[in-house]
Amino acid sequence: MATLAANALTIADVLKTIDPKGDAAMIAEVLNQTNAILDDIPWVEGNLIGGNRTSVRTSLPGVTARIANQGNAATKSTSAQIDDAAACFETKSEMDSLVAETGGMGMVAKNRANEAMAHIEALGEKLSETLFYGSASVPEEFVGFANRYNTLSLTSTIINNMIDAGGTGTDNSSIWLVNWGEGKVKGIYPRGTMGGLQRYDEGKVSIVDATGIAGATFLGYREYFTWRCGLAVEDWRNVVRIANVDISNLVAKTSAADLFDLMISAIETIPNIESGRPVFYMNRTVRKMLAIQARDDVQTGGQLTYMDVAGRRVLEFQGIPVRLVDKLTVTEATVV
């Protein structure tokens, strides 16, 4: 006997979202994660079909102290071009018409909307994860922050923007300070395309049976959710990674990293930070321990307050929002 496809939404699934009156019940998305970085990114159309090309200054011209009757040689600056690729994240929803119409035709839009919310959330989480951990070894994605700021080598260009919190092993996390803005750090989408999440509704179509019955089809509703996007770090000095935050030490308060000292160091690392929109990002465990350290240290805790951002209460440190990103893991290997 054919088995139900694992990815197919069932009538039972829909019935769980309908209250006794037939109205769509509010779904408690307990698996939804907080990835506030998606609210902060400034999106700009790239200048390439596949992404964006940035020209960056790599050195300044030489300057000579000249005396009378003595000339000086011409000098010049040097520059380089950096290409940032954009990815295309997509998810597809198919719902049997029998399922979509559970509760009556008046429920179709609500039943489909409930499922659409889950697909949109999944796209957001995938993008958040890629923004930090995207790797060049996965060509269909784009390179995230962690694979751009990934070494403490003194010979590395980005060493001044890497702060070592001292953790070892594989239970580490990172705190990120990103100064968003044009010419600094921004989100991109390919030239000639539309920015943001796109939803393509095909309506009621014929869907091929996925349970193993050859040639069988049924009527159902299909829609696609697509997000074409990438990350451009135009000036690497506008990102600081506080790496090697040892989670077990932090929670146990034993040889724990002083989060406030580290965050002050990060702020002082970025040149002209007032010219952009700086934001701290950390996961839930690190932010919890930040609050606990504030309680334990009255003097430092006086700097941890709340600000209003678009009508929402947001934690801040020295005027900089401190945002949650659940996709930042607690299992990072030691950065060396």
Domain ranges within the chain, ordered by starting residue: 11-56+80-324
pLDDT at 59: 86
Q: What is the dihedral of CA 128, 134, 270, 60, to 10 degrees?
A: -140
Residues of the chain by 3-state class (helix, strand, coil), percent to 5? 25, 35, 40
Question: With bands split at pLDDT 50, 70 and 90, how would you rate the model's confidence at 105?
Answer: very high
Give the C-alpha separation, 39 to 325, whole Å.
11
Length of the chain in terms of residues written: 336
- Stated pTM of the model: 0.87
Give the C-alpha separation, 294 to 307, whole Å.
17
Tokens of 7: 């990815």
| Average pLDDT, integer, range 307-336 | 87
pLDDT at 52: 93
Checking if the pLDDT of 12 tops 50, the result is yes
**What is the secondary structure of 157-178 as a DSSP string?**
TTGGGEEE----TT-EEEEEEE
Output the average pLDDT for the chain. Answer: 89
More confident site: 336 or 32: 336
At 109 the three-state DSSP class reads helix
Helices (H), the chain: 11-15, 97-100, 108-133, 247-252, 259-269, 284-296, 298-301
Checking if the pLDDT of 5 tops 90, the result is no
Q: What percent of the chain has pLDDT over 90?
A: 71
Cα 331 to Cα 69, 122, 137: the distances in Å are 64, 21, 20
> Which of 152, 315, 115, 332 is closest to 245 using CA atoms?
332
Q: What residues pair up with 43 in beta bridges, in sequence order?
A: 187
pLDDT at 2: 41
Count Cβ atoms below 10 Å from residue 209 Cβ, excluding itself: 15
Checking if the pLDDT of 245 tops 90, the result is yes
Residue 91: enclosing H or E segment and its boundaries? strand 78-96
